[in-house]
Structure formats: C-alpha cells, structure tokens
Amino acid sequence: MTSTHCLQVVRCARAQPLLKPGAQVEALYVVQSGELSHAAPGVAPRTLRRGDHFGEEALTGHGGQASDPGGLSAGSTATVTVTALEESVLCRITRESFVHGVGALLEIRQEHFNEKALVHAHCMCLRACTLHAHCMRTACALHAHCMDETFDYQALASCAELAALSTAERRQICRLMSRVSYPAGSTIVKEGGQLAQLHVIHAGEVCAYEQGKPTLTLGEGQFFGQASLFRHVSAASCLVAQRPTSCTVVSRESVQRQLGPLASILEREAAKQSRKQAAGRINFASLVQKGVLGVGTFGTVRLVVVAAEAGGYLKGAHQAYALKCMRKAKVHATGQVKHTLSQKEHVL
C-alpha cells in the first residue's frame, strides 16, 4: 500500500465544525488550504493554516494526558473545538490506514520531511512514546509530498488528454511535479508566449485574458498547459494570478525522461483500442481452424484464421488468431470467472 492510498481528501465549508468537545478522535488531519480555528480550554485560540495538523494522537493508540494542550487522545474524547474559518481542504488518515501503510511510508518518504513541522513534532514527542515520534515524522512526510501527489493525481484523472495513460503512468507524472507560487497580479504567461509546463492549481485563482478581456477563470483542482506535455505550445491567452496562487508543475522534458514521448504512449493505447474493436467485429462463423496450439486444464487453444472471402473484417488477406475454447460450466464450477475475464482484457 502506498501513501496516496492512505490519504482521504476532506473539504469543509465556512463555519463547519470538524471536532467538538466530547467527540471521538478518529484520524489525523493536515491542513492543505484554508484556515481553521483551534480552541482548547485554558489555552488561547489559535489559527490552523496550510501544514498545521491536529488529531495526531489518534494514530498512536495511547491515551492523552491531562496536561496535553492539544486535548486529543486516541480511544478517548476530544476537549478542543476545531472549526473552519473559511472554505478549507484537509487530508485525513485514520489509524487503520496508517497501520497498513506506515511501513512503506517510512522507507520511501523520509527524504521529504518538513523540518519546521518536525521541530514541533519533537516537542510533542518529549511527552510521548517512540511510536508517537514515528507517527509525527510520518505525518510531516505526508504533508510535504503525499498530499500534493494525491491532489495532483485526482486532477490529472479528469484530464481528457491523459485519459489513455495507465494509473501507474499518471502516478509517475505526479511524482515528477514540483511546487511554484505566483504573487497576486503576476503574469504566468503572456498571450502568444511559450507555455512550457503543465500546471495544477492547489490554491488561488488564475484568470485568462484575450486582447485584454477576461475569458476564463480557473480555481483549485483545475489545470492548464496539458498540451505542453506533447509539443511546444504558444499560449492562446494571457494567464494572470488573480490572488496569491500555488501550483504544482511538470515539463515535457521531465516526463519524457521518465516515460518517453507521451504521443507514443497514446498511439499505443489507440492501437490497443483498435484491436479490441476489430476483435469485437469478428464473425465467429467465418473462423477456419488450422490446428491445435495447446491443451490445458481449463481449455484448448486453437489456431484460427479469418479470410476476406469468408466474411472477415480484414480485406484481401488472412488474419490469424489464437482462440481459447473453454466450457462455461467448468469455469463457473472452479471459480475461474473473474480470472477468465481478466485474462481476456490482457491478451487483446
């Protein structure tokens, strides 16, 4: 299990409570964007912003102490109130997900630790066990890299131009992305200028202008510049950050070094879909058996051809196939239905 499988993205509206006194503490939360109020008895209220976290004791399996200013403890109730001051995005991880994923996270995310958050974590670990320290370091690693990777993957999954990529290929692109920030009013690219990177907006707002007139506004979770992953692109409009904006970006050169040309990958997928469509048009009555290729436990594989004169879809030539013949009753009786359907998807 990877870190991105452990995380859940939570969106909350303004004034929405996330934690109340007496509620069960079930997960660690890390703020991705927005602001939240954190109020504990006897402690001045504080504001939580990007990178801040609460509920970390939910991962340790240890009860809290009366002197704990956070007022949170796994297996007990909270004494604090956490409320969204504005529309906010958080990532949460439950104890169950953490236990399944923490081994791999400690190995593959240590280089992404957030040093500032670790200092805060160290202060808390002075009053906790060694496991608590591991949990806090892992939480910082999730904030530094994994939250961005999850956010980017969800955005790219809706990109039509990248729809033909496999899940693994999209995740590789997400791991290549780095963060950039633009001040309010700054120009990201001028109209007619070269747009050299794919941008995914994490916070802020980008407005497109054509001949000085606004034509489109993009916000959190949206993207632009995806065509630059395939070829050199000139911007059709001027893109301006309307307010402080944070994005993750990746260039065509970086993607090509990792995956090779994306155009070749898309051609591969297009050819694969074409083969599937062609196979679906085969007239089984026109198949001519040429021999037996093999006999197994669950069926026989035969060599067959489709000729143009026999009504096949390929004109002027013979098309050869390996046809696997199986008995439905035996497939059902041996519980091989799912395996057989999976095999069909892989061989076409």
Q: How many CB atoms are closer than 10 A to CB 82? A: 23
Q: How many CB atoms are closer than 10 A to CB 157? A: 12
Q: Which of 113, 108, 142 is nearest to 30 (CA)?
A: 142
Q: Please tell me the predicted confidence (pLDDT) of residue 102.
A: 58
Residue 142 burial by Cβ neighbours in a 10 Å radius (0-12, 13-18, 19+): buried
Give, for all 348 residues of the chain, the pLDDT tens digit. Answer: 444 556 788 899 999 999 888 888 888 888 988 999 999 888 889 999 988 888 877 776 544 443 343 444 445 678 889 999 999 988 888 877 776 765 444 443 444 444 445 445 544 544 444 555 555 555 555 555 566 777 888 888 888 888 778 888 888 888 888 989 999 999 999 988 988 899 999 999 999 999 889 999 999 989 998 888 888 888 889 999 999 999 999 998 988 888 888 777 777 777 776 766 766 677 777 788 888 988 888 788 988 887 654 444 444 455 778 888 888 888 888 888 888 888 777 665
Paired tokens of 217: 């506004």
Residue 105 burial by Cβ neighbours in a 10 Å radius (0-12, 13-18, 19+): buried
At residue 188, φ and ψ (nearest 5 deg) are -80, -45
In whole angstroms, what separates CA 110 from the centre of its chain?
20
What domains are there in the chain, each with its CATH number? 3-154 (2.60.120.10), 166-259 (2.60.120.10), 282-347 (3.30.200.20)
* Side-by-side strand order, sheet with 288-295: 288-295, 300-307, 318-325
HSE-CB for 283 with a 13 A CA cutoff: 11
**Would you mind telling me the total number of residues written for the chain in this entry?**
348
What is the 3-class SS of 275-309, one letter each residue? HHHHHHCCCHHHCEEEEEEEECCCCEEEEEEEEHH
* Distance (Å, whole) CA 145 – CA 17: 27
Flag whether the pTM goes above 0.75: no
Q: Please tell me the predicted confidence (pLDDT) of residue 32.
A: 87
Q: Please tell me the predicted confidence (pLDDT) of residue 115.
A: 45
Q: By the 8 A CB rule, do 200 and 187 touch?
A: no
Q: Please tell me the predicted confidence (pLDDT) of residue 48.
A: 93
